[in-house]
Structure 1
């Protein structure tokens, strides 16, 4: 592998020097990065406080729940949750149902609207999916499709005991909204900038 030498290359760039002509002292930058890490940690704790205490959100891996203490009729409650970027809460599992029941119980309430209605002889969640699998009806709580519901009781309330019961849709009561992360961020920004 002997051969003639190649052409001389271009000179390399000089290392970045401090104006005094010395190389970078990165120790102080490490200190700044460490301070930023502490600030980020404090910010994460502040956001957690904001979500859980100020906004009163309950959090799961997939969604947030917001107990709204503004008594409304079912239709108005549903619309208000949509304005916040979500729906009325839809407890599809015993775990989510228990979480919501504990939420209203700890708030000192006994009942709230949830996103479940009877219509055309079947139960439908706020997202238009039919009720399947899990249900937590109180004794005698489920309507029989062949028997018309009494008056306008096709709406469903969650009791602090964790059971569901029928309620007239025109009754005003508190409710729980179910939100996804981006909806929570947008809602907080909207309500605090308006």
Structure 2
């Protein structure tokens, strides 16, 4: 609601400013000093308009993030949103990116535990789901979907994970293994949870 008012205000301001500058040029012949002054004013107005548009876009992003947080959950300065449609790793990550986030990547045991609890509630029929972690580029060197090395790892050592070699390059979390991770073939279809950072 407030965002709509801001957009209407910015639009009205633009119309008034354009009318004012057109009216000034139609009323009289400008002398050189006035032209320089008007051009300087135009530059100031353009700068102010650009700032206003940036603010409007920022408000839109915040509103979208709040919507995601309302549909999902907020944990440790992140919002999570469970997606019930099963997709392969790359499709799942692309979907999260299209919504303004990435596949969930726990950075510590608290985040991993919170993510597990949220997953059990949100997608209870799923025994496992994708994480935003892969070793596709360099076997055995796990990174997040942005290519940043992952320092927190929670592999299921009881099943000697990660055990897939070059065939299984994408990480998933398992409810059966109490939140431990396994590596899996990236083309398998799994449900997933998107992660959105809160600024």
* Same fold (TM > 0.5): yes
2-side partners of 1:71 and 1:157: how far apart? 13
Residue segments in structure 1 that go unaligned for 5+ positions in a row: 1-47, 183-194
Residue in 2 aligned with 1:177? 194
Change in CA separation of 1:67 and 1:149 when aligned onto 2, cut-off 3 Å: same
2:165 to 139, 146, 149: 149
Report deviation, 1:181: 3.9
Greater per-residue helix proportion: 2
In 1, are the aligned partners of 2:75 and 2:114 still within 8 Å (CA)? Answer: no
The structure with the larger Rg is 1
1:29-178 correspondence runs (5 A): 51-52=69-70, 55=71, 57-106=72-121, 107-108=123-124, 109-119=126-136, 120-121=138-139, 122-132=141-151, 134-139=152-157, 140-143=160-163, 149=165, 151=167, 153-160=168-175, 161-178=178-195
Deviations 1:69-88 (A, max 9, x none): 11101000010010000110
Aligned length: 127
Instruction: State TM-score, norm by structure 1.
Output: 0.60
Q: Which moved more, 1:80-89 or 1:103-112?
A: 103-112
Report deviation, 1:58: 1.6
Change in CA separation of 1:77 and 1:49 when aligned onto 2, cut-off 3 Å: closer
Residue segments in structure 2 that go unaligned for 5+ positions in a row: 1-65
2-side partners of 1:180 and 1:93: how far apart? 15
In 2, are the aligned partners of 1:104 and 1:110 still within 8 Å (CA)? Answer: no
Coordinate RMSD, CA, aligned: 2.3
